[in-house]
């Protein structure tokens, strides 16, 4: 289970191949893939991190197959993780694979280690985000992204 499921993101063989397609529809507006199921594992306490990832990009000459966005999230989540690093790894991978800096990533997750031990808080959740390219510079674009994911 650990090798084949929980930590399959540790094996580079499982890295999703992200193929790009010509943007024949000339779609250049915001594209958001929201509510991507996120299942990870806290590397400090070895208990689950469960939540959602939302990613967005601005298509240029090429577009990506939508499910690849989910697969990139899952590949980096399926290993012992820290949410802050996971957020950055997904953003970096998308920037490289999509060939653009115009990328946004937001993760909201519950950490079982916070819920079940220590502070024992079952209602708090953790949000992390990474904005680059036009998302970092353009507050209105960031606002559109946050509206579309219901924030």
Instruction: By CB under 5 A, name the binding residues for Zn ion.
Output: 42, 44-45, 113
Active site residue 44: yes
Active site residue 28: no
Active site residue 54: no
Distance, in Å, from the CA atom of 90 to the CA atom of 54, rounded to the nearest integer, reads 11
Tell me if 18 sits within 8 A of 64, measured CB to CB: yes
Active site residue 83: yes
Which one, 9 or 16, has the nearer CB to Zn ion? 9
Active site residue 41: no
Distance, in Å, from the CA atom of 143 to the CA atom of 129, rounded to the nearest integer, reads 13
Of 33, 81, 89, 111, the active-site residue reads: 111
Active site residue 148: no
The minimum distance between CB 123 and Zn ion, in angstroms, equals 17
Which one, 45 or 88, has the nearer CB to Zn ion? 45
Of 92, 113, 144, 148, the active-site residue reads: 113
The minimum distance between CB 127 and Zn ion, in angstroms, equals 16
Of 83, 89, 108, 130, the active-site residue reads: 83
Which one, 11 or 43, has the nearer CB to Zn ion? 43
**Counting every residue, how long is the chain?**
151
The minimum distance between CB 45 and Zn ion, in angstroms, equals 4
Q: Exposure of 21 by Cβ count < 10 A (0-12 exposed, 13-18 middle, 19+ buried)?
A: exposed
Which one, 113 or 136, has the nearer CB to Zn ion? 113
Active site residues: 42-45, 83, 111, 113
């Amino acid at each position: 289970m650990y090798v084949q499921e929980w930590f399959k993101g540790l094996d580079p063989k499982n890295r999703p191949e992200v193929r790009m397609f010509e943007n024949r529809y000339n779609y250049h507006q915001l594209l958001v893939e929201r509510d991507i199921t996120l299942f990870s594992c806290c590397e400090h306490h070895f208990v689950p991190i469960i939540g959602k990832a939302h990613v967005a990009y601005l298509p240029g000459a090429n577009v990506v197959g939508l499910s690849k966005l989910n697969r990139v999230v899952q590949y980096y989540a399926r290993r012992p993780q820290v949410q802050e690093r996971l957020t950055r790894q997904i953003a970096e991978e998308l920037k490289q694979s999509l060939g653009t800096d115009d990328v946004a990533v937001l993760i909201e997750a519950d950490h079982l280690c916070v819920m079940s031990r220590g502070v024992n808080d079952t209602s708090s959740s953790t949000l992390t985000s990474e904005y680059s390219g036009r998302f970092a510079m353009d507050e209105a674009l960031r606002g559109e992204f946050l509206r579309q994911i219901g924030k």
